[in-house]
Each structure stands twice: as C-alpha cells, then as structure tokens.
Amino acid sequence: MKNKIRVASLFSGIGGFEQGFKKSKMDYELIFASEIDKYATMTFSYNFSINNMHGDIKAINENDIPDHDLLCGGFPCQSFSVAGKQKGFNDIRGTLFFDVVRIIKTKKPKYLFLENVKNLISHDNGNTIKTILKNISDCGYTFDITIINSNEAGVPQSRERTYIVGILNYRVEKFVDDKRNTTITSIKKWANENKLKTMNFFNTIEMHNKKTYIKNILEENVDKKYYLNSDKVKKYINGLDKNELSKKTDNKIIKEFTLPRDVHNDLDRQRRVYSVYGISPTLLARSDSPKIIFEENNTYYIRKLTPLETLRIQGFDNKFTDNIQKNGMSDTQLYKQSGNAVSPPVITEIINNLMEFTNE
C-alpha cells in the first residue's frame, strides 16, 4: 500500500494550503501545523482535524517536529537587514524564514513549498530573495520560483503571489526564462551564474480551470449593513447612465467608477466601485472589501463584498465557508483571514503538477 505524504504546515493561517491539498491528487496526512493568530487557528480547526496544532514556530524546537515529507507555508517577509553584507546562514538569522531553514536542515523533508507576496522578489533590491534562494539551495534543495496570479487558476480575483517549490537532492537543470515574469527571469539568471541548484518546474504548469467572475460568488439575501444606503449614494446611482455599465463577463478587473468624495467620504481606494461581470482586485487583510454595483429587481445598488464572498473569491468552497459560518467568527476577523490567505485552487494546481513532475 502506498504511504501517504506526511505534511508539516508552518504559518498555517486558516488552511489555504491544506484546502488546496484536499482538492489535489496527493494522498496526504497533515501531521503538524503552526499558527500564532488565535482566530485563524479557530477557523483552521473548523475545517481540519489535527491534534498536532502548535503556536509560535519560534518557540518550537525543530527536533520536536515529527518527521515529514513536505513542508509548506506562507512565511511573513521581514527586513533582511544584513542581507548582502554577510554570507549564508547568518544572513537570515532572526527572521521567520530562519525557522523554515532550521527545520529543513534538521528534518530534511523531500518537498518544500513556500508562498509569499509578489514584492518579495524586489524587496531590498533583490537581496532578500537571493538570500532565501541561496539558503534553500545550500540545504540541498533543487528549486524553482515564479509569480502566479490566482486568476490563472480560475478564481475571480487578480492576486499575484511568489511561489517556491524545492525537492531535496533532485536533478539539477539550468534555469530557462520564466514564462510569467521578467523579474523572475533576471533572478534565474543570477541563480545560474551563482550555480544554485535549480530546476524548471513552474513553466510546466498549465492551468485550464473554468473562469469565474464576481457575479458567480455572490450571496443571496445579503444583510443591509453591507450596502451604501445614504441618500447621496442613492441619488448618485439614480443619475448614472445604466447603459454605460458593463453587461458582459470579462476576465479582468472592471472598475465602473469612483464615487466622488462628497458622495461617499472615504479614501480613494474605498470609493472605487467594480462590476460583478469582472474579477476582484487583490483582497487585503482589511474590512474595507471591494465595492460592487449590481442590479436587483430593476434597481441598482452599491455594497461591499461580504466576508463569505471574499473567501469564495479566494477559492474556498461552500463546505469550508459553511463550517465557518456555523461557528460565528466576526466579520473583522474573516476579512483579515481571507485577505491573508493563499488561494487553494493555485495550491491544488501546483501540487498536482509536482506529483506528475516527480512521478510520485
């Protein structure tokens, strides 16, 4: 009988990696998870059964973590103040990426799977990502890196994130140009010049997921507290030329207009109103979710996306969100959690490709 792939999860959040694994072809067992935020841990527990959930990874000795085959996590990006001034392991001491390195040096899982913000690749003039990649390579991992927009996996959101996959003691290939991002290509050229252990993994991923749009994930019977119901907003809507509003789906962000400040007194970003026939801008870990305009019973309304809708926009399914709703998590926490999460459909596609790539 084939053994399950044992997974250890760091910076687990609400379980975006785990939800992606659940939908993938990988036969896995989650044997360790770590998350410092108590509310995210609660949401995680509503959907994943695990007895080995821990708090701050900095307080956990790497020898106490069970042996595992795959280590995953979306580690926070901190300032690498000494990056480029010293060499090797000392460059990352004191940062949360250091915790990833100390674990893989000791436990040596076969697979490493990391996610971060897009700006990781340009942070500190590129010194941060170079330090990260050098340490991964020095630990014996053949790796690849790219930027993937979650929309590529079919979700109705434009969300670019950095992804890194490493395989311990895997065959080494000279990097070729990245098909998604020119900055990644320049980083790959640097990796080739410095003889890092590299492979061409991400260029082999082809996603053919069905495209979805904001209109596909909207709730029915939304509480009026999410609507912009002031007389000024209603008057503004009545004065719109409805023929100029989008009527056809388009796989891009469609900003219909920005509410004037004297109509809705808020920051510029919070006054932007989007079409439900397009996709959402990148969700942030804040309660000021994107505003949409839509028609209902021959009347147009403007409202913000609900917490449930933002989770759907990330690619979490109804079963996942139903389990959260049953337990009464606050809107504030849910907005924060969806904005911080990874998009499960992207994780699924990467893992499926990894299984084929290594013929597991």
Strands 255-258 and 141-149, by their bridges, are unpaired
Average the pLDDT over 172-192 and give the result. 97
Average the pLDDT over 208-213 and give the result. 94
Identify the domain containing residue 190 by its residue range.
5-203+342-357
Lowest mean pLDDT among 27-31, 94-98, 145-149: 94-98
Band (pLDDT 50/70/90 cuts) for residue 50 is: confident
Number of domains in the chain: 2
103 with 247, same domain: the answer is: no
CATH number at 329 reads 3.90.120.10
Report the share of the chain in percent with pLDDT over 90. 83
49 with 16, same domain: the answer is: yes
Band (pLDDT 50/70/90 cuts) for residue 77 is: low
Per-residue pLDDT for 105 more than 80?
yes
Tens digit of pLDDT for each residue in 228-265?
999 999 999 999 999 999 999 999 999 999 999 999 99
Buried b (16+ CB within 10 A) or exposed e, 97-136: bbbbbbbbeebebbbbbbbbebebbebbebebbbbbbbbb
Average the pLDDT over 65-84 and give the result. 77
Average the pLDDT over 56-65 and give the result. 94
What is the pTM assigned to this prediction?
0.93
8 A C-beta contact, residue 55 and residue 31: no
Per-residue pLDDT for 113 more than 50?
yes
Tens digit of pLDDT for each residue in 32-43?
999 999 999 999
pLDDT of residue 82: 45
Q: Which residue has the higher pLDDT, 124 or 171?
A: 171
pLDDT of residue 304: 97
Band (pLDDT 50/70/90 cuts) for residue 128 is: confident
197 with 260, same domain: the answer is: no
Strand partners, 145: 164
Beta-sheet strand order (sheet of 70-73): 53-54, 28-34, 5-10, 70-73, 111-117, 160-168, 141-149
pLDDT of residue 85: 52
314 with 347, same domain: the answer is: no
Q: Which residue has the higher pLDDT, 267 or 150?
A: 150
DSSP secondary structure string, 203-233? GG----PPP--GGGSPPSS--GGGB---HHH
Strand partners, 167: 111, 142
Lowest mean pLDDT among 20-34, 75-89, 323-337: 75-89
- Residue 207 structure tokens: 């996603």
19 with 35, same domain: the answer is: yes
Strand partners, 280: 157
53 with 181, same domain: the answer is: yes
242 is a domain residue:
yes
68 is a domain residue:
yes
Average the pLDDT over 91-98 and give the result. 76
264 with 145, same domain: the answer is: no
Average the pLDDT over 63-86 and give the result. 76
Average the pLDDT over 333-342 and give the result. 95
224 with 175, same domain: the answer is: no
301 is a domain residue:
yes
292 is a domain residue:
yes
Tens digit of pLDDT for each residue in 1-23?
468 999 999 999 999 999 999 99
38 is a domain residue:
yes
Give the position of tokens 């053949």. Answer: 142
Q: Average pLDDT of the chain? A: 92
Per-residue pLDDT for 80 more than 80?
no
209 is a domain residue:
no
Per-residue pLDDT for 280 more than 90?
yes
Per-residue pLDDT for 194 more than 90?
yes
Kindly state the greatest CA–CA separation across the chain: 67
pLDDT of residue 321: 92
208 is a domain residue:
no
Nearest of 133, 116, 117, 124 to residue 187 by alpha carbon:
133
| Catalytic center residues | 77
